[in-house]
Amino acid sequence: MDVQMFFFILLFLFQEDEPKPEDCIPDLPGNEHARDFLAHAPTRGLWMPLGKEVKVMQCWRCKQYGHRTGDRECPYFIKGNQKIEQFRVAHEDPMYGLLKEKANEEKQMRIQQLKKLLEDSTSEDSSDSSNDSREKSKKKKKKKDKKKKKKKRKSSHRNSDSD
**Domain regions of the chain by residue span:** 2-92, 98-129
Q: What is the DSSP letter of 53?
A: P
CB 67 within 8 A of CB 57: yes
Share of the chain above pLDDT 70, in %: 68
What distance in Å separates the CA atoms of residue 163 and residue 161, rounded to the nearest whole number?
5
**Burial (CB count within 10 angstroms: exposed 0-12, middle 13-18, buried 19+), residue 12:** exposed
**Minimum mean pLDDT range among 40-44, 49-53, 61-65, 105-109:** 49-53
pLDDT for position 102? 95
Q: What is the DSSP letter of 65?
A: B
Other C-beta atoms lying within 10 Å of the C-beta of residue 37: 18
pLDDT for position 117? 92
For 69-91, what is the mean pLDDT?
Answer: 75
Which residues have a Cβ under 8 Å from the Cβ of 75 and sit 6 or more positions away?
62
What distance in Å separates the CA atoms of residue 12 and residue 16, rounded to the nearest whole number?
6
- The answer to whether residue 46 scores a pLDDT higher than 60 is no
Helices (H) and strands (E) in the chain, counts: 5, 0
pLDDT greater at residue 46 or residue 18: 18
pLDDT greater at residue 87 or residue 115: 115
**pTM for this model (two decimals):** 0.28
Backbone angles phi, psi at 54, to 5 degrees: -85, 120
